[in-house]
Chain A
Amino acid sequence: MKVRLEHLTKRFPNRNKKIKTEVTAVSDFTFEIPDGKLIGLLGPSGCGKSTVLNLICGLEKPTEGRIFFGDDDVTDLPPENRGVGLVFQNYALYPHLTARQNILFPLQNLKGEARPDKARMLEMVEEAAKLVQISELLDRKPSEMSGGQQQRVAIARALVKRPRVLLLDEPLSNLDARLRIQTREEIRRIQRETGITTVFVTHDQEEAMSISDMIVVMKAGILQQIGQPQDVYNRPDNLFVAKFLGTPPINVFEGKVKGGVLTIGEDEIMKVADTADRDVWVGVRPEGFILRENGPLCCKLIGVEVMGRDVSVVASHPACATESLRAIISAETQVDGAAHEVRFELQPRKLFLFDRETEERVPYRAL
């Protein structure tokens, strides 16, 4: 099921009743989710991503704009008539019911024609449980299950009614690190097997990048960029997106383009073409640094961290926007930890220029 959002806006009245101004949680959102894809809705806390999810599932009514599932306009439909399954951040499993009763619950709500007979309902529960691999846990109460198992029950409960769209609100945030990686692959597998269009909300960019077909980056209720994870990573539209994606984060320097030459602080980095003279932010991905004895970027070495597969070099530079910068180089390269100075060459593919004022990406051609 294709999901289309058109100029979706949600404004909340201010919590402090004396202040008449409204808070805009989502502002003029327009995008389309292709059928059967897994979409990651990504942004820092409080950016309105959960509001977008609530708008799609119908728990909130949009102030403006429309929502379409396929060709149906569902904007005015209540949640139960939209055919959505929602998995909550804290799972919201009913504590007094067993896993089986929890998964059965949405089916028992069905009325008339849509209501299957009892045997069929139990069969559907078994099928859903099998899909999320909890068949042997069906008679347990939520309190007798681990976080990961509860998560699976919650997904089974959302899936048992065969929803047109599956929505997951921060599905992994209550799990520990190892379980998180396992579960996100599980979500990916379940989504592939069922082919249900799925939207999930997260503030963890790694999570979103690793399993999504498409990611949607938001900031303060405003859509920043949509695209395939790798595309967004390689071609961020603005400084915010560049900073938000990638671990370790991108390194940002104050720089300047003048007469076709890019300089960071005092260091002349490279010749650039097709861009006007201006002040810029220079963003360099950690993997964009190459250690060179005569490289143009001269940094003060702070330390070297060896982490098996690769080495990260921590250094500082006077023009760097943060106190230290971090470069990742392959473990074969020898770094003299005792040296005071390191010099880098920067890969143009991993180096982005952003306008100092607007923070939009400035296209350029390296020479």
Chain B
Amino acid sequence: MKQSNFKAWLYLLPAILFLGVFMVYPLIDVFIYSFEEGYNSASQTVFGVGWYNYSYVLHDPYFLRAVKNTLILVVITVPLSTGIALLISVGLNSIKPLKELYQTVFFLPYVTNTLAVGLVFMILFKKTAYTDGMVNLLINWFGGESVDFIDGPYWAKMFVMCFYTIWVVMPFKILILTSALASVDETYYNAARVDGTGKWRIFTRITLPMISPMIFYLVITGFIGAFKAYSDEVALFGVNLNAAGMNTIVGYVYDMLYGDSGGYPSYASAAALILFAIVLTITCVNLLVTRKGIRA
């Protein structure tokens, strides 16, 4: 017994060591920093201990704007990307010719570099004094006026951001959903056909419940991923997200640490913990709803 315990710990040692040093210790540290006022990493000094950092962050207009941006992004992209991915997967699953080709095409964004895609989007949506991007050319063609999506009104920038995020997260969802759809036993569909079930009813009463665990999985991971959005925004709007008014919570944390206005690890820690609290709450709610949904 003793012997095997020792062995087990030995096998676990690398993982424990790495997780401990690079995950658990920093997490505890961040937690402590968030309560230490004016922590300075160079001199290792603090002014005092308390809730001041949280209060500062929650009153910082930049942070509130970041929270707003992130929430809009989450609320729009998660349901839309999951829904569209479901539509595309069902479509993919019901065609025979060129199925592999389409699958590859839909999966391409997943293996493409974020920054490269961001550049392409910038070119598509841009508007300068001399040239218009393709999207603006299209709008002009339909008789509309050019919109500066990258450096213009807030709603236009938000539109591009959501569009981009949906486009980037979709391949993974399509991949998961097509395999989930393919794994539904054919005999259920045969049984439904013999009973004269309509197509829509087959979809809502058989297909959806059968793949619901996968949909819930995608929604939960989608929420978490969208709350952590940052690099996509940099790819579109450049590093100075506050100036563009398109900062996200993770972007705010980064700026507080390393940005031009940075050098405040305490504020960054507090903001990170607030983000953690939000994600944890949403995930717990999600899990509760999921469990109820599966039981029903």
Contact = CB atoms under 8 A, between A and B. Distances in A.
B194 interface: yes
Interface residues of A, number: 23
A286 interface: no
Interface in A131-177: 157, 161
Given A94-B206, A109-B201, A80 B195 contact: yes
B201 to A, nearest CB: 7
Nearest to A114: B196
B188 to A, nearest CB: 6
B196 A88 contact: no
Q: Is the interface of B mostly helix, strand, loop or mixed?
A: helix
A326 to B, nearest CB: 39
Contacts of B191: 86, 88, 92
B195 A96 contact: no
A222 to B, nearest CB: 25
Nearest to B195: A106
Q: In this complex, which of B196, B201, B205, B210 has the most chain A Cβ atoms within 10 angstroms of its Cβ?
A: B196
Nearest to B193: A79
B194 A96 contact: no
A80 B188 contact: no
B61 interface: no
A25 interface: no
B185 A80 contact: no
A90 B185 CA distance: 10
Nearest to A108: B201
A90 B193 CA distance: 16
A36 B163 CA distance: 63
Contacts of B185: 90, 92
Contacts of A92: 185, 187-188, 190-191
Interface in B188-222: 188, 190-198, 201, 205-206, 209-210
A58 B194 CA distance: 8
Contacts of B192: 105
A96 B184 CA distance: 13
Interface string B161-197: 0000000000000000000000001011011111111
Given A92-B185, A92-B187, A86 B196 contact: no
Interface residues of B, number: 17
B194 A85 contact: yes
A30 to B, nearest CB: 24
A139 to B, nearest CB: 14
A23 interface: no
A333 interface: no
A59 interface: yes
Contacts of B201: 108-109
Contacts of B195: 80, 105-106, 109, 157, 161
Q: In this complex, which of A79, A88, A92, A108 has the most chain B Cβ atoms within 10 angstroms of its Cβ?
A: A92
A86 B194 contact: yes
Interface in A87-116: 88, 90, 92, 94-96, 105-106, 108-110
A233 B196 CA distance: 39
B197 A109 contact: yes
Given A59-B193, A80-B193, A96-B210, A90 B187 contact: yes
A80 B196 contact: yes
A122 to B, nearest CB: 17
A109 B194 contact: no
19 contacts: A59-B193, A59-B194, A78-B193, A79-B193, A80-B193, A84-B194, A90-B185, A92-B187, A94-B209, A96-B210, A106-B195, A106-B196, A108-B201, A109-B195, A109-B196, A109-B198, A110-B196, A157-B195, A161-B195
> Across chains A and B, which 5 residue pairs bring their CB atoms closest together, nearest first?
A80-B196, A106-B195, A92-B191, A96-B209, A92-B187
